[in-house]
Amino acid sequence: MFNGPTVTTDPRPNVVAISPLQLDADLIGTAAQALRDGLLVAFPTETVYGLGCNALDETAIAKVFAAKGRPSSDPLIVHVDGLPMVESVIEGPLPPAAKALADAFWPGPLTMILPRGQAVPLAVTSGLESVAVRCPSHPVAAALIHEAGIPITAPSANRFNHISPTSAQHVIADLGHVCDIIIDSGRTDHGLESTVVTLDGADVTVLRHGAITVEQLAGVEGIRIADDGTSVDSPASPGHEKRHYSPSTPTVAVRGNSIDFASTSGLELGAATSVIYAGYSDREPELPSTWRFEPLGSLAEIEAVGHDLYFELRRIDVLTAAAIVVELTGAPGLGRAIDDRLTRAAGSTIASTSAELAKAITEATAAHD
Ligand code: TXA
Ligand code: MG
């Protein structure tokens, strides 16, 4: 008799399909019970897939860090199903500016850094007295947390520093062997992680660009953008490393369409053979003959670029190439989150001239050997 997903030592991952359009209460119930039992359940959110566990269970939390190979200094986000559960994980009531942001964007892809409630183990926050909280809007995530009745920590369900997963297949490829259950609900909506902000009274600082743009945040009454995360001195979340979201193939970034390949002597880039140039279909450059163009989408449809970014990076990463060059969008709005991810995919090296690009490719491929 089939009793729903069971946890076994079978090396094949335990994948269950749940449609976001028609929630299967039995499967949600089984996955919720697994979370309450301290097991690891990968599930979809509207941004990327998360590797979920009971946020209040230190043993389960340790398993999440180990599964990802994530350093314990990189704190996790606590996912909740609504404001009452928020109050169970923070110290005191929700501050007015946080309430204004919650009213505007929750449920949805905004993460707020708030004072840590006593119930949340320091293992979740990497010893910080603050806790990152987010209320996801994906129907499966929302139902799962609600049914579990406990806050759920969920980092992106990828190996540490690899490209975040936007489909269950990505999770299986990275963490299939360590998840007790993987819920497959198809591709995620946004394809980029939540925006992470911290608050000081009405002052908001962006720690990580994401699916909610700075422009959208700035439109909320009762808050002020104190730091939009674009200056070199802007603080970043701990663990938001210079190299992150990275393909396995050596990757370098170029500032939006800044290199005129047509007038570059082949000498500078001559050593850089079999390079994939990941750019935009509306401004495809004329590339050296041994290079290949792969589109990340059209800049006229920036949301589609964000939605497909990790999907395309994973696709391009398995093509045969000595290096990948990713082109930054230079666009505002979602372009900032896309450029942040592309920059980190390239280990934060950005080339602006063909000489810099040739050097960056040489260094990246040498570092990889
Ligand atoms: O969209 C998302 O946020 C996805 C889905 C699964 O919800 N989750 C996600 O989690 O991206 P993760 O662990 O990959 O990224 C969490 C980010 C990290 O940059 C971490 O440093 C930051 O949130 N963070 C967590 N707690 C923090 C804290 N107390 N202070 C500052 N940053 C914090
Ligand atoms: Mg991540």
Residues 217 and 359 in one domain: no
39-90 confidence digits (pLDDT tens): 999 999 999 999 999 999 999 999 999 999 999 999 999 999 999 999 999 9
Residues 292 and 186 in one domain: no
In a domain, 1, yes or no: no
Confidence of residue 4 (pLDDT cuts 50, 70, 90): very low
116 DSSP β-pair partners: 90
Rounded CA gap, 306 and 77, in Å?
Answer: 21
Pair 55, 120: CB distance under 8 Å: yes
Instruction: Tell me which residue range forms the domain holding 318.
Output: 251-368
- How many whole angstroms from 359 Cα to the centroid of ligand 1? 33
DSSP 320: -
What is the pTM for the complete model shown? 0.94
- 174 to 13, 14, 161, 182, 317: CA distances (angstroms): 11, 14, 11, 12, 14
In a domain, 263, yes or no: yes
In a domain, 242, yes or no: no
In a domain, 347, yes or no: yes
CATH code of the domain containing 184:
3.90.870.10
Which residue out of 77, 110, 166, 170 has the highest number of ligand 1 atoms within 8 Å of its CB and is therefore the one to mutate? 77
99-129 confidence digits (pLDDT tens): 999 999 999 999 999 999 999 999 999 999 9
Q: Which residues form the pocket of ligand 1, taking CB atoms under 6 Å from any ligand atom?
A: 45, 47-48, 50, 74-77, 109, 111, 113, 125, 128, 130-132, 134, 154-156, 193-194, 196, 207-208, 237-240
198-245 confidence digits (pLDDT tens): 999 999 999 999 999 999 999 999 999 999 988 777 887 877 788 888
- How many whole angstroms from 51 Cα to the centroid of ligand 2? 10
Residues 28 and 152 in one domain: yes
Confidence of residue 9 (pLDDT cuts 50, 70, 90): very low
CATH code of the domain containing 314:
3.40.50.11030
Specify the pLDDT at position 168. 98
In a domain, 21, yes or no: yes
pLDDT at 297 over 90: yes
Residues 98 and 174 in one domain: yes
Residue with the smallest CA separation from ligand 1 atom 24 is 75
252-295 confidence digits (pLDDT tens): 999 987 888 877 665 566 656 789 999 999 999 988 888 999 99
Specify the pLDDT at position 272. 63
Please report which ligand is nearest the Cα atom of 196: 1
Structural domain total, the chain: 2
Residues 202 and 310 in one domain: no
Pair 64, 43: CB distance under 8 Å: no
In a domain, 156, yes or no: yes
pLDDT at 21 over 80: yes
